[in-house]
Amino acid sequence: MILDIVVVLAGDHNIGVLLGYGNGSFAKSIIIPTEHYPFSVAVADFNNDWKLDIVSVGISAPTIIIILGNGDGSCADQVMISTQHQLYSVAVGDVNNDNRVDIVFCDSSSDIVCVLFGYGNGYFANEMSFRTKSQPYLVAVGDVNNDNQLDIV
């Protein structure tokens, strides 16, 4: 397996993709422009085409951007999802156990963690929000209680 790197380019409207050579080195960064200042990114196959896609959230606009990948570091379309939240962090995983990738994000200004349940075609259901008792700045998913289902942390 050859690993690649996806990074937020701070202070810019761009995301960088560095394709791995398989020997620990990487090609020059491919720049993907976005409509907002990206703050957090995650990678998954949102449309079941066996090619990895990127999700990005940014604190400058209440939008989530899905960047559908072509499998070679370039991208096809960008899908923008509007929210009512100030977005800080994003994570991905199948949190409702339906074999489709979901998006989890947080809004520390409203003490909320939200989930967008994936349809498996690059589109998502309306968000479901969960109140927290503190200001969440980072979100992650993983099976923390060993029940074979992803938990939101």
Give the count of domains, the chain: 1
The residue range of the domain holding 98 is 5-152
| Residue range 63-96, pLDDT digits in tens | 899 999 998 888 887 888 988 888 889 999 999 9
Residue 147 backbone phi and psi in degrees, to 5: -105, 15
pLDDT in tens, 99-152: 999 999 998 888 999 999 999 999 999 899 999 988 888 999 999 999 999 999
The CATH number of residue 22's host domain is 2.130.10.10
Question: Alpha-carbon Rg of the chain, whole angstroms?
Answer: 15
Single-letter residue type at 149: Q
pTM of the full predicted structure?
A: 0.92
